[in-house]
Structure formats: structure tokens, C-alpha cells
Structure 1
């Protein structure tokens, strides 16, 4: 890139000198211009153009070649294959009795405040209910912080507090205000 900039500056200098040489009559007091042949600086300008184009096209070709190498699937995978053969044997280790299955959602009570899906409650479909005597709100925001669900619990109105279905995602933000707690019962339990 620096080579291109240097050549471009040299090209502009040659163009400027060509203009001066072609107007020799206006610059009689400069001996260098008077002694220079008219063809020298235009030829140097053309050489600069050819060099600029050659360097630019070679840089472009190199960049395309680098991208094709990065996207090429024919690289040597023997090292990767060797690593996959050395799988850890969990038998006779401290992990032998560990259950690596996915946990199923279970009933969870969350209290006033902000909670995160996946950390405070497993992802899944729930019925959100409250036993609080006061009124309040349940807000669930998605991963883009847009409101995905809202429930207003009225004080003293029991049917509203029995719950309504809500889906909690791993990155959901759950905000409980007004009521002391909200119980999330998995759908199907």
C-alpha cells in the first residue's frame, strides 16, 4: 500500500513537471526546465501509471489468493483426526456417575427483581402465577431487550393470579415488580 502511495505521489510530480516543461516560455528563469526535453516527464508519468496498475493488481491477486487459501477445505486434517482419536475415557474417573443429559424445566419461584433465563430458571414453557396480595407486573424481555411478554397482576383479583403461559428463553430477562414473587410451573407438569 505504501508503494502505491509513493508511486502515486511520484506520478503527480511527473505530471506537474510535464506541465512546466510544455510551458517553457513561461518559466524562462528556471534553467532545469529549459534544458529538459519535452518527452521525459510524460514518459515517466506513463511508467508510473504502469507500475501503479501492476502493483495494485498484484496486491489484489494476493488478497484473493489469501482468501481462497482461508476458504479452501483441502488443508491437512491429519492433526485434527489424531486429536479426535484421543477421546477421554470417563470410566473409572470422578465423572463416571455424572448425568450429562439436559435438565428438564421444574417449578421455580422468583422474587421481586431482575432474573436471567438459563441462569435463574431453565428455558421452557411455564405457567406464571402469583399468590401475592398486592398488584404488580411480570416483564419478559428477549435477547434484543424487546418486550416479549407482559402480565399485570391485579391486587385481590384471584383469577388473574392463577397464571398464564409464558416462554422463557436462555437469554430472557425476567423483571418482577410490585408482587413479592412469581411461581413458574412448567407446562405439562
Structure 2
């Protein structure tokens, strides 16, 4: 799974940021979702099961009120206003994600990249917004990332497993994943 995220982030970072400045569609994410479901249904179904269990954990621990979009928005706004917000999460999503075999998902994505509408990618827009923030602030915190989630994704986006996974990994204090963003070329000085 880390390879999949890394591959996607590298692809997004290589694309020019101006092409994503007016993205209002999640067409790429929908196409990617359908592609993974079709080409690797066992992984896709396992991922959806894990995400459902994590969501249930968030609800039972009162991190989320329910599974509605408004609960996610409320939580992200809460994190945005309080960078040090402590969440009652004991379910380690990485433990469960690492148990499912991702197989050749990277190859499937790379082989189908030309047919996917990457110019209409909210994931790429998410990366661009993080990069722009990083250029201005030099250091990102949880509050900044919560704001980018709120500014980028809409209600229907949170139903897509790859978007939900990104959000859950952000929320999970137990995750070991690194958020990869393209921050520009290193300064030679």
C-alpha cells in the first residue's frame, strides 16, 4: 500500500500545478476506484471492509457522530481550529492495511495511467494545495492539512476508498505513513 501511495504521489508531483488550479471533478478518483475494483476485487473489497471497521471505531469512540459527511466536516473543522486535538483512536489502520496483499496494483495503475483522467484529479489538487502552503509557511501542521482536506474534497469524494483511506491515515495517530508532497527543487546554497 505504501508503494501505491508513493507511486501516486510521485505522479502527481510531476504534473504542472496550473493544470489543477480549477479542478472541481473527482473523475480521476472515480475512474481509479472502478479500475482497482475491476482489476483487483479481492484487495478492493478487503480495503472497503477495513475502512468500514475503522469508521465504526471512530463512531463508537465518539470521534465521529455518525458516518455522514457532516460528521467528517465537523471533525476536520475541529482539528483545523485546534492543531493539538487529541482523538480517541486505538485501532491501528496500518496493521490491517499491511495484511492485505496489494499485488500488482502499481502496475495496473501505471499501465492504465493514460486512460485515467489525471487532469481532473482532486488528489493532485490536494498535493498542489499542500505544496503551496508549504512554500508560504515552511512547516505544515495538522490544522493546515485538515483545512486542505476541507478545501479539496466534497461529500461524494469521501465515499471513494482511496480518499477515505487518505483521510483515515491522517486521523490515525498510530499510522507510520509519511505524507509525500513535492516541495520544489532543493536550493543549491
Q: TM-score range by the shorter chain?
A: under 0.3
Higher radius of gyration, 1 or 2: 1
Which is helix-richer, 1 or 2? 2
Relative contact order, CA 8 A, sep 6+: which one is greater? 2
What TM-score results when the alignment is normalised by the length of structure 2?
Answer: 0.17
